[in-house]
Every structure is written in C-alpha cells, then in structure tokens.
C-alpha cells in the first residue's frame, strides 16, 4: 500500500510496525536503510519542537502536559469535551503536513516531513551507469520502441526504485540513432496512455513496479477498454517485460481502492500518531479522549521517554527513544497491510484473472530488504541467463513470494529462482504459510497468445540496478519481449 494515502481506518490495520517497515524499506528517507539521512527518529522532530515550548532543546514533564493541554483546547473545535480520532488527526496534520501530489501520484517524505518529487538520486544513477554492460545486446530486427509504464493505481504501493528502473530501461536501449541503439524509450505514469491507438507505435511495454489496479478507472467502460487494449497488444505478437511489483497487482479490491483514494490524504506520521493517541489514551474505550485522558497520556509518555528519571529529555534522546517506547503500544498488526495482505496472507480479490495468469502470479509475502537470497539458475542454457555462466549468486533485496495457487511452472518457463534449501530456518520462518512445494520463482518468460512476457522479481533496492549481470539479464528479458532475442519459452513443467 502507498503509505502516503493512509487514512485512520487503514492505519489501524497497518500498525506502527507497518510504518516502521515502510521507513526501513527505503520509501521514506529518514535514516536507517531509507534514503536522506538524519536518523530515523528525526522524523519526529516537529513533535519535539512543538512540545519544547521554551525552545531550550530539552523537554520537561510540565512542558509535555502543557502542550497536550493546549492541543486539547485547540483540537476540540466543537467544545464537546472530547476528541475523536479524526480531530486528533486533523490537529497533528498541522505538525506533519500532508504530502503534495507529484506527477504520477508519486512523492516521498524527507526527514523533516516535507515532500519532494520521487526521482532517482544522482548517486543511484551514477552507480547504475557505471555497471552498464559493455557487451552489446542482440541486434534488433528493426527500430524498436518501448513504453515504460509506471502507474501504481489507486492506493498502490509506490516503490522508490520506479524512476531508477525507468532510467535503466532508457540507457539500456542505447543512444537513439547510434549503432548501439536497440530500442528507444518513452516513460508514462498515466493510464490514459494504455489505449489501442497509442500502443500501435510500441513494440513492448515495461511494467515498472506497477501495483494495485494500475489500469483501472472508476468508469467501468474505461477500465474495460484499457484492459482490452493491453491484452490485445500482447496477444497480437508484441511483448511485456516487467519488474518487481508488477506482480503486486490485481489481487486486491479495486473498488475499495478507489473509495479509499477519495478520502482526505494525511501524512503517515500524523495518521500513526493519531492511532497511538487513541489506542493508548482511551481508558474508557469510548473511541475518544477527554482532557484528563490526554493529560494522563502525557504523563505516561514522558515517563517512558525519561528512562534516566532526570526530569528532562534531550532532543537526541527523544529522537532515539520515541518510536521504541511511545510508538510500541497497541495499534494493530505489523507488516505492510493492504494490496492483498502484504504483511501476511489475506484472501485475494481477483478482479482481472487474465492479468494474473499473464504476469505469472501474484504477491503473497516478501522478505524485507536487505534479505540475503541465493539465486539459482534454473535454465543455464537460456540466452536470458548466459550472463550468470550457470553459477548461483547472492543478492540482497526485498524478495517476493507468490500465492501458492497463482504461480506454477506449468504456466512459465523458469529462468531463476530462490535456492530455498540455502535459506536459514529463521528466514524461512518469517513467511506465513510457506509454499508446500518450496518453489520460489524469481524470473521467468512465457508466451501469451502470439506475444511474449518476461518478469524479474528483484528490483526493489537501488543496489540491484548497480549489478552488471542483473542489468544484462533485464536487457535480455526486454529483448525477448521485443522479439529480438529468441529463447525456449515452453513451460518448465508439462
């Protein structure tokens, strides 16, 4: 799920662990594994600043209680003597502003809680450029055109690697008009571009971590037209190449996603805090907070933060302790919720089964970045795996698993997969309801009518795009989809 669009209702399901996992996985650059630095606790700086009323860099119990009391007065706009979760959220939104929508619906938070357009950093692009293959790709039969499509649909999870993957496709295609050119690239975030007339100019579509119901519209006739154009494009003899979150699509309720997308948008930090205020402060379980309950919560939180019982808490200690001692209370389960149960295994809502079969499977669970995975080469004779020289290799990334009934070797020609036997028991245990067959796909190809489909499961982390063999593998997959690289694509299992 795109945490930027969380409402209080969905946040209850996501929980604090879900938000922190979101931060750790690089979608909110606030330190840790996320980009942007500043330390993970720094994202709570606006809360500390608002509470530290004398601005001396330390927080006392009196300041905490005074700030909470002032908030109650300001937030209780109806003077009812109680605060609803919506009122708390509205008040906290002044400290943690809602994100500003960016082209394609993508934005990300920096450590201060502001938003910037989701773009690849220069260091990421430089690392990818340094890793570009020196060996040329297959010679194209004609001038080729690739459409990189990166819509995440209503409420879809937005991967920070999307713009880097788009740049990768562009540079792998070579310089237009030069001898090394194998395709030209157009990038789109707009589902309106998936129509029969527009698609005539392209030879392949690259699904760049598309999520949710990425082609759909609230107008059912528009949805039907886009889906038909997409399927006709492939089945008529063209191709689809795809990466990572393309399989995190069309296994959730599209109607519910549009409903959620119409709700007011709040900062995920404000949403999480509002949930915690109510979950920990509502002693009479009436789904609201009185002034006394809020004052009591101020006392409880200060006690948790003042672990040394010094009577004051420094900025550094606040940032280091807040998430662990204050945000660890009851707020629902962990893991990324939504999108078909990213944190566990919720029942799928399959609203476009033809796509689920075309793409090869749908998301069930992921090991979080930087999980160590040993990649097994299932077809060492394929030109799409020649760059690996038949040798297993290790990779650190967020790694998807597919619902048992959605993926089968009878539907795809397997290229690479997880060497599941080399995973530790502890890592295996992280996955709820593991596949009974131990068959965990990473990349594969398949026929769809007269057309071709390639999928690579890794690509969450920027480090994947700085691995030369992976770039060669993806280029080969795109050229297979274009029809310029011939390969055995018969199902691996009859």
pLDDT in tens, 18-75: 333 333 333 332 222 333 333 445 567 888 989 998 999 999 999 999 999 999 999 9
Give the model's pLDDT for residue 225: 97
Residue from 260, 266, 261 nearest 95 by CA: 266
**φ, ψ of residue 369 in degrees (nearest 5):** -60, 135
Give the model's pLDDT for residue 110: 33
31 sits in the region (left: phi over 0; alpha: psi -120 to 50; else beta) called left
Query: Is residue 261 within 8 Å of 154, Cβ to Cβ?
Result: yes
**φ, ψ of residue 144 in degrees (nearest 5):** -110, 155
Residue from 190, 177, 209, 230 nearest 457 by CA: 209
Give the model's pLDDT for residue 455: 98
Give the model's pLDDT for residue 42: 58
Query: Is residue 459 within 8 Å of 465, Cβ to Cβ?
Result: yes
Q: Find where tokens 């808490």 sit.
A: 313
Residue 147 CA to residue 481 CA, distance in Å, equals 12
Give the model's pLDDT for residue 99: 56
SS (HEC) of the chain: CCHHHCCHHHHHHHHHHHHHHHHHCCCCCCCCCCCCCCCHHHHHHHHHHHHCCCCCCEEEHHHHHHHHHHHHHHHCCCCCCCEEHHHHHHHHCCCCCCCCCCHHHCEEECCCCCEEECCCCHHHHHHHHHCCCCCCCCCCCCCCEEEEECCCCCCCCCCCCHHHHHHHHHHHCCCCCCCCCCCEEEEECCHHHCCHHHHCCCCEEEEECCEECCCCCCCHHHHHHHHHHHHHHHHCCCEEEEEHHHHEECCCCHHHHHHHHCCCCCCHHHHHHHHHHHHHHCCCCCCEECHHHHHHHHHHHHHHHCCCCCCEEEHHHHHHHHHHHHCCCCCCCCCCCCCCCCCCCCCCCCCCHHHHHHHCCCEEEEEEEEEEEEEEECCCCCCCCHHHCCCCEEEEEEEEEECCCCCCCCCCEEEEEECHHHCCHHHHCCCCCCCCCCCCEEEEEEEECCEEEEEECCCCCHHHHHCHHHHHHHHHHHHHHHCCCCCCCCCCCC
Give the model's pLDDT for residue 7: 35
Q: Hey, where are the domains in the chain?
A: 3-116+264-326, 122-258+342-482
Residue 389 CA to residue 395 CA, distance in Å, equals 16
User: How distant, in Å, are the alpha carbons of 125, 150, 443 from that of 161?
Assistant: 11, 11, 18
For the domain spanning 122-258+342-482, the CATH number is 3.40.50.880
Residue from 276, 280, 322 nearest 300 by CA: 280
- What are the residue ranges in the chain where pLDDT is below 50? 1-40, 101-117, 329-345
Residue 160 CA to residue 167 CA, distance in Å, equals 13
Residues β-bridged to residue 399: 367
Q: Is the pTM of this model over 0.85?
A: no
Residue 201 CA to residue 193 CA, distance in Å, equals 11
Give the model's pLDDT for residue 145: 97
User: How distant, in Å, are the alpha carbons of 49, 61, 258, 457 from that of 315?
Assistant: 9, 14, 40, 41
Q: Count Cβ atoms below 10 Å from residue 86 Cβ, excluding itself.
A: 12
């Amino acid at each position: 799920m795109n945490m930027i669009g969380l409402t209080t209702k969905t946040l209850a399901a996501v929980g604090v662990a879900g938000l922190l996992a979101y931060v750790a996985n690089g979608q909110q650059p606030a330190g840790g594994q996320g980009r942007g630095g500043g330390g993970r606790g720094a994202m709570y700086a606006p809360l500390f600043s608002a509470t530290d009323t004398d601005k001396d860099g330390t927080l006392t119990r009196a300041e905490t209680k005074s700030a909470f009391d002032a908030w109650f007065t300001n937030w209780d706009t109806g003077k009812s003597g109680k605060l609803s979760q919506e009122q708390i959220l509205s008040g906290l939104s002044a400290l943690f502003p809602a994100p500003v929508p960016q082209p394609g619906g993508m934005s990300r938070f920096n450590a201060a809680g502001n938003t910037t357009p989701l773009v690849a950093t220069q260091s990421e692009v430089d690392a990818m450029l340094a890793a570009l293959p020196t060996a040329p790709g297959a010679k194209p039969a004609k001038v080729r055109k690739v459409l990189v499509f990166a819509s995440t649909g209503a409420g879809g999870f937005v991967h920070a690697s999307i713009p880097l993957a788009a740049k990768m496709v562009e540079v792998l295609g070579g310089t237009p008009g030069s001898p090394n050119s194998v395709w030209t690239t157009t990038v789109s975030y707009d589902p309106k571009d998936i129509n029969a007339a527009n698609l005539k100019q392209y030879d392949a579509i690259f699904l760049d971590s598309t999520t949710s119901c990425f082609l759909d519209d609230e107008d059912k006739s528009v949805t039907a037209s886009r889906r038909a154009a997409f399927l006709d494009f492939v089945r008529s003899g063209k191709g689809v190449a795809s990466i990572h979150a393309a399989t995190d699509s069309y296994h959730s309720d599209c109607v519910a996603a549009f409903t959620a997308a119409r709700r007011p948008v709040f900062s995920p930090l404000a949403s999480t805090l509002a949930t915690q205020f109510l979950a920990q402060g509502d002693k009479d379980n009436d789904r609201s907070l009185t002034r006394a309950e809020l004052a009591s919560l101020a006392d409880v939180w200060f006690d948790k933060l003042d672990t040394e019982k010094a009577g004051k808490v420094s900025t550094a200690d606040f940032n280091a302790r807040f998430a662990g001692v204050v945000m660890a209370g009851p707020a629902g389960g962990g893991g990324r919720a939504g999108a078909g149960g990213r944190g566990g295994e919720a029942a799928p809502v399959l609203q476009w089964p033809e796509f689920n079969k075309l793409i090869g499977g749908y998301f069930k669970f992921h090991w979080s970045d930087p999980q160590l995975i040993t990649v097994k080469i299932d077809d060492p004779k394929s030109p799409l795996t020649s760059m690996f020289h038949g040798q297993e290799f290790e990779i650190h990334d967020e790694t998807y698993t597919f619902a048992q009934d959605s993926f089968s070797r009878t539907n795809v020609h397997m290229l690479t997969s997880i060497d599941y036997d080399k995973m530790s028991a502890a890592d295996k245990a992280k996955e709820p309801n593991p596949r009974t067959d131990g068959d965990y796909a990473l990349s594969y190809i398949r026929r769809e009518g007269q057309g071709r489909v390639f999928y690579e499961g890794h690509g969450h982390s920027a480090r994947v795009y700085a691995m030369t063999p992976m770039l060669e593998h993806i280029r080969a997959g795109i050229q297979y989809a274009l029809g310029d690289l011939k390969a055995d694509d018969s199902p691996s299992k009859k």
